[in-house]
């Protein structure tokens, strides 16, 4: 018999006698399921953080921040600086001559969560040209805010998470009454975490005279270098220029890298525990089949196929856990909305995570089967057959 035939025959025998070791097999399945379930749930959280920056930042958008600011939250741009950016080369123009340039301002406002706790929400004001930018705001109810009037629109996830943000509701901020005039569809990005309004209306209501940042759409991604060097060569303009992708990475990258680390750390510790469990249950399986294995060796089966069959058995035991764990994470948490530091995350279980879960499960099965496989191949024929 060839190596493959032998391996196949041995694996089939092992699987047929599995029902006699149901308990041990179940332990491996449950162990792998919980590891994969926890790992995938945590990675879904990290996916949510990554999605805050949009799945793909558009390559022709750039962000202008005040100098010295480590992230856009700390950035301050004066009106003069924001105005000066309008003269920069490479900014796209609409057919009517309007520049694809919007200055934004941000104030934090407190709101009451639906569970009664106080939480913080960002109210972001945009200057009117923001309507030119793709993908834009998709309203699912109501209409856009109008400049000069205290009107704002709220994202659907925010509306659900906080009280008093329904269409037509009034919010009093600094003695001014704002009206919710529209609800924007959620899309998993940072836009889900904000209230939107007109920039100058927000600034006058809150007594601010500075913007936070300016976003521009360039004529092409290649125009970025011209745009950036123009801004940096102007000594009167102390600003930083970043591509949208770089800005997202500076703002959210640390968070999602931290969450990734936490996920893999916890997953790693749990996996090492589950591997110990798998080792035990496969050792037991091999020990229970000592005489059988010795007999097979005696009638001519080689060590290689025996090792291969035990490894396959380990991986087959681990595989259901990959699907069960991923399915559990998906059922329990996919689309679940969490809020932290004023940001709303949507836990997202992506198909990519199924690949992660299968590869982790196979790895756990393989490592858990490795030592038992060696023991199986080394069963001393004479001793094992003589033993009672």
Q: List contacts with another protein (CB under 8 A).
A: 23-24, 26-27, 30-31, 33-35, 37-38, 41-42, 65-70, 74-76, 78, 107-110, 117-120, 173-175, 206-210, 236, 238, 266, 269-270, 272-274, 276-277, 279-281, 283-284, 338-342
Give CA separation, 8 vs 20, 236, 304, in Å.
20, 76, 12
Structure tokens at 237: 């303009």
Q: Closest approach of Cβ 133 to another protein, in Å? A: 24
Q: Closest approach of Cβ 374 to another protein, in Å? A: 13
* Three-state secondary structure call for residue 173: strand
Give CA separation, 46 vs 176, 261, 329, in Å.
38, 9, 13
- Residue 367: CA count within 13 A, CB half-sphere: 13
Closer to another protein by CB, 16 or 118: give it: 118
Closer to another protein by CB, 127 or 339: give it: 339
Q: Closest approach of Cβ 384 to another protein, in Å? A: 17
Strands 118-126 and 194-198: parallel
Q: Closest approach of Cβ 289 to another protein, in Å? A: 15
Q: Closest approach of Cβ 279 to another protein, in Å? A: 5
Closer to another protein by CB, 12 or 26: give it: 26
- Characterize 46-73 residue by residue with b for buried, 16 or more Cβ atoms within 10 angstroms of its Cβ, and e for exposed: bbbbbbbbbeebbebbbbbbbeebeebe
Q: Closest approach of Cβ 378 to another protein, in Å? A: 14
Closer to another protein by CB, 154 or 218: give it: 154
Closer to another protein by CB, 7 or 243: give it: 243
In 199-342, DSSP assigns E strands to 210-211, 213-217, 239-243, 337-340
Closer to another protein by CB, 218 or 237: give it: 237
Q: How far apart are CA 92 and CA 126, in angstroms?
A: 18
Closer to another protein by CB, 41 or 187: give it: 41
Q: Closest approach of Cβ 271 to another protein, in Å? A: 9
Closest of 198, 5, 239, 243 to residue 103, by C-alpha: 198
- Characterize 147-169 residue by residue with b for buried, 16 or more Cβ atoms within 10 angstroms of its Cβ, and e for exposed: eeebbbbbbbbbbebbeebebee
């Amino acid at each position: 018999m060839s190596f493959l035939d032998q391996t196949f025959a041995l694996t089939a025998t092992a699987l047929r006698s599995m029902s006699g070791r149901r308990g041990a097999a179940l332990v491996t399945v449950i162990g792998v399921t919980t590891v994969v379930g926890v790992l995938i749930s945590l990675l879904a959280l990290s996916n949510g953080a990554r999605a805050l920056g949009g799945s793909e930042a558009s390559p022709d958008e750039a962000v202008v921040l005040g100098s010295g600011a480590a992230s856009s939250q700390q950035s301050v741009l004066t009106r003069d600086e924001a105005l000066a950016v309008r003269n920069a080369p490479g900014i796209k123009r609409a057919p009517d001559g309007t520049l694809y340039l919007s200055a934004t301002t941000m104030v934090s406002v407190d709101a009451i969560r639906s569970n009664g706790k106080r939480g913080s929400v960002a109210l972001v004001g945009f200057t009117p040209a923001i309507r030119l930018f793709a993908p834009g705001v998709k309203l699912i109810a109501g209409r856009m805010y109008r400049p000069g009037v205290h009107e704002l629109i709220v994202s659907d996830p925010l509306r659900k998470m906080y009280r008093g943000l329904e269409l037509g509701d009034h919010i009093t901020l600094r003695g001014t009454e704002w009206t919710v005039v529209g609800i924007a569809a959620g899309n998993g990005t940072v836009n889900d975490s904000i209230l939107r309004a007109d920039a100058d209306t927000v600034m006058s209501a809150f007594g601010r005279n500075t913007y936070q940042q300016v976003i521009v759409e360039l004529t092409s991604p290649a125009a970025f270098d011209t745009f950036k060097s123009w801004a940096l060569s102007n000594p009167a303009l102390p600003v930083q220029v970043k591509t949208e992708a770089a800005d997202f990475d500076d703002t959210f990258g640390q968070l999602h890298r931290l969450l990734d680390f936490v996920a893999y750390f916890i997953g790693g510790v749990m996996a090492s525990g589950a591997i110990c469990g798998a080792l035990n249950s496969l050792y037991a399986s091999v020990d229970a089949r000592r005489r059988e294995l010795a007999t097979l060796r005696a009638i001519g089966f080689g060590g290689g196929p025996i090792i291969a069959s035990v490894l396959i058995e380990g991986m087959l035991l681990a595989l259901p856990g990959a699907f069960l764990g991923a399915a559990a994470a998906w059922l329990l948490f996919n689309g679940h909305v969490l809020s932290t530091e004023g940001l709303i995350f949507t836990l997202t279980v992506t198909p990519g995570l199924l690949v992660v879960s299968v590869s982790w499960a196979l790895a756990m099965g393989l490592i858990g089967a490795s030592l038992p496989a060696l023991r199986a191949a080394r069963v001393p024929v004479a001793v094992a057959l003589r033993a009672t």
